Each structure stands twice: as C-alpha cells, then as structure tokens.
Homo-oligomer: A and B are copies of this chain.
Amino acid sequence: MASPRPSVSMKDVAALAGVSVGTVSNVLNSPALVSDATRARVEKAIAKLGWVRNESARQLRAGRSRSIGIVVMDVANPFFTDIVSGVEDYVHNLGYSVQLGNSAQQTEREAAHLKLFEQHRVRGLLFAPISEVGQRVVELRRHGIPVVIVDRAAKDAPYCSVAVDDVEGGRLAVDHLVDHGHCNIAFVGGPMTIQQVRDRHFGAQLALSQLGDSGHLRTIATARLDTGSGAVAAGDLVALPAGERPTAVFAANDLLAIGLLQGFITNGISVPDEISLIGYDDIEFAAAAAVPLSSIRQPRHALGMRAAELLFAEIEALDNDAPHEHEHIEFRPDLVVRRSTSRCKCDEGR
C-alpha cells in the first residue's frame, strides 16, 4: 500500500563512507572530533546520496528542537506580520528558525496550533492570543517550553510578556478627539473577548469621562477586526438619524478604520468634514489610505524583537538551570495625527 519510500538514512551514508553511524553523527555535530580525511569522505557521501537529516529522530534522541513557534491571531493583519518580521530578524542569526501559526481570529484554530507546537516540542513559543491565556501556557511549560505573551500585558502572570499600554492608547485616541471638540463619539471594535479591544475601549471611556455628562461613547461591536467588519459598522453608523450620528469614530484597529473609511466614502460621507476617524496600530497602509488615517502607533517591529529576546533569555536560563524572573515589558503608544481627524463642527465659531 504505502509507497516504497526509499529514504536514505545515516546508515547508508555511513556504509558509503566506510565508517560507523556514530562517526557520521560526529561529522555533523562535533566536527572537531573527526579527522579531516574522514570528514571529507563523509561529507562527500552525504552530498552524493542527498541525505537530509531526519529532524524527528534527532529531536527524539537529542531532546531539543531548533525552532520556535509563534501563534498570531491574524496573519492578514500587517500589524502582526510586522511583529513576526521583528521576531525573525532577532532569531535569524541564532541558528533557530521560526514556525508561524495563524489562528485567523478563531479560538479553535488557535488551540490547534498551540497543541501542534506542543506535540512538536518547539523550543519556545511566542503567543499573541485571541482568547484567555489560561491553563495552556502552564501546560506548555510543563513540557519545558517557555512562552512569551505578545501584545498583551500580563503583570504578575507566570510568564513573560511584551505589550503596549492599550488603555493609554485608547485614552490618547479619544483625548485627541475630545481636544478637537468632539463629544458624541463612537467606538467600533470587537469581539470584546479580545483584551486589547476591551483595554482600548476602557481607555476611550476614561478619556471621555473628563467631559462629565456631556460626553457620550456609543459602542458598536464588530465580529472581527478586519476591513469587512469596518464596512458593516459604517453602514450601521450611516443608518443613524442625522442628529444622533457621532461626529467622530475611534476604531479598535486600522483595518476596521480602513473599512469604515471605505464605507463612509461609498455613502458620500466626508472624512473628516462630516465625521472624524482615528484608527489604531498605525500600519503602513494607514498613511496611504484614501484619507490619510490618524492612528495610534505601536512599535510593531520592536515588539517582536523584544519578545524574541525575552524568550531566548528564558530558554537559556532553562538550559543552565539558572533562575529566571518573568519580565513584563510595556511600550507606550504614540498618537499620529494625519488628515482623518479634524475639529468638530459643533465646536466651530465658538
């Protein structure tokens, strides 16, 4: 039934080179132990047979893997690919490789990837979770797999984390809107199970509370954090009676904001004249949007770099049985003002 699978093994290499398998292994892992002549012979045999090490066997015996995993909640979001690129840049010259798992905003796929990486006994895991981190991470460490949580603060939690202060970011965004005279503001984002969304929402509320009773934050929940959901939300907003319609919208991320912008444009609503719009993440496309998007910048690349750095610090500590103190790095977000936000009309002429 199964095909012959004529896979060459180290035994074949050893036979061809006229040495034992142990020597072949040494050529690969401790070349200094082998004489030049033998090494040359073995290398020639490897090349001739086109032998490629079976990583499963190596890992099984050696007990260690040479790759780390990263599970992100949406690989279609440039924010996360920028993080990944930061990780890759850090890991690159460490001789490790990075395996990327995309949970596509589905907890089920997220769990599948987590399990897979655990089964593969990756050396470490970077994890940008959709759902609660909970028990999973603890279980991973049971197998000696350290985990660093990316893009989610985790003070006092039993793992390292790298994050940006999302409450502060939400506050910055809405402060900016309030500064421009807006008081009827909508928050567009969801699902609320995602902590980043909750935090940004909370930050928005904080900022608005300074207005006392005169401020109003309408919350429009979206199913996902993508442009499609943004377009849907735009429809909801447009359908509102003119008097009730918010004068400014804070979108939980730039993809939503771009979708909203598109929706407004097709409905003939001018941004920022009729409605101001601010996004979050400051992805590369924010600046290139139909109306250049005001946004909250996160240090995406640095986020990935630092996360990888923490992970390898923990891996090393584990290897050397050294003590390890979990670190929680928190970056501060920055407000980037472009053209999608402007002074509220209700404020004009005052």
Please give the residue numbers on chain A whose beta carbons come within 8 Å of chain B beta carbons, in ascending order. 1-3, 5-7, 50, 52-60, 63, 67, 75-76, 78, 81-82, 84-85, 88, 92, 97-102, 104, 109, 112-113, 115-116, 118-121, 139, 142-144, 227, 258, 261-262, 284-285, 287-292, 318-321
Checking B101, B139, B288, B320 against A99 with a beta-carbon cut-off of 8 angstroms, the contacting residue is: B101
Residues in B whose Cβ lies below 8 Å from that of A142: 6-7, 50
The distance in angstroms between the C-alpha atoms of A320 and B318, with both chains bound, is 45
A144 engages B52 (CB within 8 Å)? no
Q: Provided the pairs A99-B99, A143-B52 are in contact, do residues A116 and B76 lie with their beta carbons within 8 angstroms?
A: no
What is the CB-to-nearest-CB distance from A135 to chain B, in angstroms, rounded to a whole number?
9
Checking B84, B97, B109, B289 against A75 with a beta-carbon cut-off of 8 angstroms, the contacting residue is: B84
Q: Provided the pairs A113-B97, A289-B290, A292-B290 are in contact, do residues A85 and B104 lie with their beta carbons within 8 angstroms?
A: yes
Given known contacts A52-B115, A52-B119, A285-B285, what 7 new A-B pairs fall within 8 Å (CB)?
A: A2-B321, A7-B143, A52-B118, A56-B121, A75-B81, A84-B102, A290-B290
The distance in angstroms between the C-alpha atoms of A6 and B52, with both chains bound, is 30
Residues in B whose Cβ lies below 8 Å from that of A119: 52-55, 58
Whose C-beta in chain B lies nearest to the C-beta of A317?
B3
B75 engages A121 (CB within 8 Å)? no
The distance in angstroms between the C-alpha atoms of A98 and B75, with both chains bound, is 13
B88 engages A116 (CB within 8 Å)? no
Tell me the number of copies of this protein.
2
Residues in B whose Cβ lies below 8 Å from that of A262: 287-288
Residues in B whose Cβ lies below 8 Å from that of A113: 97
Residues in B whose Cβ lies below 8 Å from that of A261: 288
B81 engages A85 (CB within 8 Å)? no
Residues in B whose Cβ lies below 8 Å from that of A6: 142
Q: Could you write out 18 A-B pairs with CB less than 8 Å apart?
A: A2-B321, A7-B142, A54-B119, A54-B121, A55-B56, A56-B56, A56-B120, A56-B121, A75-B75, A75-B85, A75-B100, A76-B81, A88-B109, A97-B113, A98-B102, A258-B288, A288-B290, A289-B289
The distance in angstroms between the C-alpha atoms of A5 and B123, with both chains bound, is 12
The distance in angstroms between the C-alpha atoms of A118 and B53, with both chains bound, is 8
B52 engages A60 (CB within 8 Å)? no
The distance in angstroms between the C-alpha atoms of A84 and B100, with both chains bound, is 11
The distance in angstroms between the C-alpha atoms of A118 and B52, with both chains bound, is 7
A288 engages B285 (CB within 8 Å)? yes
A88 engages B104 (CB within 8 Å)? yes
The distance in angstroms between the C-alpha atoms of A207 and B287, with both chains bound, is 33
Residues in B whose Cβ lies below 8 Å from that of A116: 55, 67, 97
Whose C-beta in chain B lies nearest to the C-beta of A82?
B76
Checking B52, B81, B99, B144 against A7 with a beta-carbon cut-off of 8 angstroms, the contacting residue is: B144
Q: Provided the pairs A63-B5, A97-B113, A287-B262 are in contact, do residues A55 and B104 lie with their beta carbons within 8 angstroms?
A: no
A55 engages B120 (CB within 8 Å)? yes
B258 engages A3 (CB within 8 Å)? no
The distance in angstroms between the C-alpha atoms of A239 and B151, with both chains bound, is 42
Most buried by B among A1, A76, A258: A76
What is the CB-to-nearest-CB distance from A212 to chain B, in angstroms, rounded to a whole number?
37
The distance in angstroms between the C-alpha atoms of A73 and B26, with both chains bound, is 34
Whose C-beta in chain B lies nearest to the C-beta of A100?
B100
